[in-house]
Structure 1
């Protein structure tokens, strides 16, 4: 059930929107506002999955409201409603998931549901079965391939960095303040929070565009990565084998050790220089030296 907040300055149109949206079984209206100013004050206190904002509103437009909410650290997607298609490009300059043209219809409501499913990674079974696979090289010069072919092009360097941060912490709920300390340590708090939310938004958009069923879900004051079974990550393979090697090195076969050794194409995330990755990088260096010594002793 998607929890939506609707902001529309025309009471009659707002009433029609409420009735139309509420008929959809996957949508719940948690709050409505006819004033952008009131919405700006109240939305940060609400739990919701998306915002439906009218663009043309007096005093503060929907675009201006969205920009202010991003600065306030609101990390939910925005869907704009407008009677004028020329606003579309401007809408996508802020944290816009989509824009819909008035008047609202049942088919547009279904479109909103579909876009939210894609954004949050909710997939039908058949979609998952035919979804994109990602092959991730984290040793040496990190690179991500789509279906062993196309190289992923990241919209920003920090989007790529956040992706690798989540990969290194895949078993944990990543506290948002720890993420900020790691990636934006010298940025003013409010701006850093806005940067985090915008970067998570971009990362979700990358997954959606590639049809990758990866999701980043909010868990209390943090985020967790889900859907990693579609990833083939060299460091995950390395880590699993090294756990076995550490416990029972005598059970390691020569050909297995050679294979694992071949994964090490350089230090973990070597060419990126992420300071937050250094502890894991040092650990893998130590494991590599032990494996190298074992191979020499068992020639």
Structure 2
């Protein structure tokens, strides 16, 4: 079972992603937040296998959160779930496990989980 933490300021998207992930039977959501402030310590404390992260946070907080989490949990997988392709090159350079565009689709999310299962 994959342990996941979700971060998205859009609470509708956050709960939709949580529901979709848990519906697969392959993921346990161990934490989620709509508030990027001080979330890194919570993520480190919970030690998820994967962070599902919307980069569309105020300012550059999505990128900053990803980099801080990776620094403290080098083995964590990060899946970007966002509305734009704006950060795709950054994600590729950061060895992000996957980049999923909204609106979320079950088939695409399943592909992402398969990629995680294989180790990125």
Q: Structures share a fold, TM > 0.5?
A: yes
From the CA coordinates, give the structure whose radius of gyration is larger. 1
Match of 1:252 in 2: none
Deviation at 1:82, TM superposition (A): 1.4
Deviation at 1:111, TM superposition (A): 1.1
Match of 1:123 in 2: none
Task: Give the aligned length.
Answer: 120
Q: Deviations over 1:43-82 (max 9, x none)?
A: 1101211110001101553221111112224421111011
- Mapped partners of 1:75, 1:118: distance in 2: 14
Q: Deviations over 1:175-216 (max 9, x none)?
A: xxxxxxxxxxxxxxxxxxxxxxxxxxxxxx6xxxxxxxxxxx
1:4-83 matches, within 5 Å, as 4-83=4-83
- Mapped partners of 1:95, 1:64: distance in 2: 15
1:235-254 matches, within 5 Å, as none
SS of residue matched to 2:97: strand
Q: Deviations over 1:211-248 (max 9, x none)?
A: xxxxxxxxxxxxxxxxxxxxxxxxxxxxxxxxxxxxxx
Deviation at 1:18, TM superposition (A): 1.3
- Mapped partners of 2:81, 2:3: distance in 1: 17
Coordinate RMSD, CA, aligned = 1.6
1:66-105 matches, within 5 Å, as 66-105=66-105
**Alignment check: 8 A CA contact 1:63 1:94 kept:** no
- Mapped partners of 2:115, 2:39: distance in 1: 23
- The structure richer in helix per residue is 1
Runs of 4+ in 1 over 2 A off after TM superposition: 70-75
* Unaligned stretches of 5+ residues in structure 2: none
Deviation at 1:16, TM superposition (A): 1.3
Higher relative contact order (CA 8 A, sep 6+): 2
- The structure richer in strand per residue is 2
* Unaligned stretches of 5+ residues in structure 1: 120-204, 206-299
For normalisation by structure 1, the TM-score amounts to 0.38
The answer to whether the aligner puts 1:115 opposite 2:115 as a matched pair is yes
